[in-house]
């Protein structure tokens, strides 16, 4: 059977056109979150079995490799595979939902807090190799969790028709609830972590919105974890400045609550005409 030149041209053009991005349904996103957590918790438990390792007490390079680097690295590989499957890299890494300029105070306040509360003496006592690996490990956590929740999660909820308020709300609550799985290693105090991580999740969402870049949220998340965990590198010597982290979060959330109606820019005349 012969094929006309026109049919061949149309076939080649169709093959060269990019496929439309896939939509991830809400329940499918929940499955992705469950798999991510299973990888992190499962591999971490497997590698830490028989070791004298306390939860959230990064006191050695061995701890960081077993509990963070390897399990989170595998979970990141899985999450990148999901993002590739969606075929929406631009949409995942760039947020096109503008906010008012004053929200730049959120990433700036986080950065200043990180500089202030980091336990420099504690890190120095463990040596530069440990400090560098802790930074790499926390940046990996920031990359993986932000890609999952503020990247894939935000896109998934937006594509399923959720309002931007509900997008921020649900991805924040799921981010906090996901840390409830730490009850396996830390016991009931993981419930406190759920509340705290929900608060930080909302702040990281605001970093995404205020900068328009997922990479900024990833960096903020990783550096925040680095500064907070640095206060626990010497469990017998609590680092008092780390308590400022909770104060900063409370102030930022109160600020957003008070000025919540001034987060989204007022519609332009052109947008108003389009709505009529």
CA–CA gap between residue 198 and residue 227 (Å, rounded): 18
Confidence label for 259 from pLDDT (cuts 50, 70 and 90):
confident
Identify the pLDDT of residue 189: 63
Statement: residue 37 has pLDDT above 70:
yes
Statement: residue 57 has pLDDT above 90:
no
* Residue 10, φ and ψ in degrees, nearest 5: -65, -35
The full 3-state SS of 204-229, as one line of letters, equals HHHHHHHHCEHHHHHHHHHHHHHHHH
Identify the pLDDT of residue 218: 98
Global confidence as pTM: 0.86
Confidence label for 271 from pLDDT (cuts 50, 70 and 90):
very low
pLDDT in tens, 63-119: 999 999 999 999 999 999 999 998 889 999 999 888 999 999 999 999 999 999 999
Q: Residue 94: beta bridge partners?
A: 213
Query: Mean pLDDT, the chain, as a whole number?
Result: 86
Q: Which residues contact 188 (CB under 8 A, 6 or more apart)?
A: none
Q: Is 50 left (phi over 0), alpha (psi -120 to 50) or beta?
A: left
CA–CA gap between residue 248 and residue 164 (Å, rounded): 24
**3 state DSSP class of 144:** helix
pLDDT in tens, 229-253: 999 999 888 899 999 999 999 999 9
Confidence label for 274 from pLDDT (cuts 50, 70 and 90):
very low
């Amino acid at each position: 059977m012969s094929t006309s030149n026109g049919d061949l041209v149309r076939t080649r053009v169709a093959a060269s056109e990019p496929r439309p991005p896939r939509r991830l349904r809400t329940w499918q996103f929940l499955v992705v979150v469950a798999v991510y957590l299973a990888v992190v918790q499962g591999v971490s438990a497997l590698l830490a079995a028989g070791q004298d390792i306390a939860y959230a007490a990064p006191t050695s390079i061995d701890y960081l490799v077993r509990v963070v680097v390897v399990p989170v690295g595998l979970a990141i590989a899985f999450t990148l595979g999901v993002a590739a499957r969606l075929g929406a890299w631009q949409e995942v890494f760039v947020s096109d939902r503008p906010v008012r300029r004053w929200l730049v105070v959120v990433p700036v306040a986080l950065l200043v807090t990180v500089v202030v509360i980091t336990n420099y003496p504690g890190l120095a006592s463990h040596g530069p190799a440990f400090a560098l690996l802790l930074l790499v490990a926390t940046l990996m956590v920031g990359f993986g969790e932000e890609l999952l929740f503020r990247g894939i999660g935000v896109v998934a909820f937006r594509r399923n028709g959720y309002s931007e308020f509900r997008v921020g709300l649900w991805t924040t609550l799921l981010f906090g609830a996901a840390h409830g799985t730490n009850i396996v290693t830390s016991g009931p105090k993981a419930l406190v972590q759920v509340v705290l991580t929900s608060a930080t999740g909302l702040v990281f969402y605001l970093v995404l919105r205020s900068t328009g870049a997922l990479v900024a949220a990833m960096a903020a998340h990783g550096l925040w974890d680095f500064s907070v965990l640095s206060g626990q590198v010497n469990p017998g010597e609590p680092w008092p400045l780390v308590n400022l982290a909770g104060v900063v979060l409370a102030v930022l959330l109160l600020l957003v609550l008070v000025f919540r109606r001034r987060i989204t820019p007022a519609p332009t005349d052109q947008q108003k005409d389009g709505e009529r």
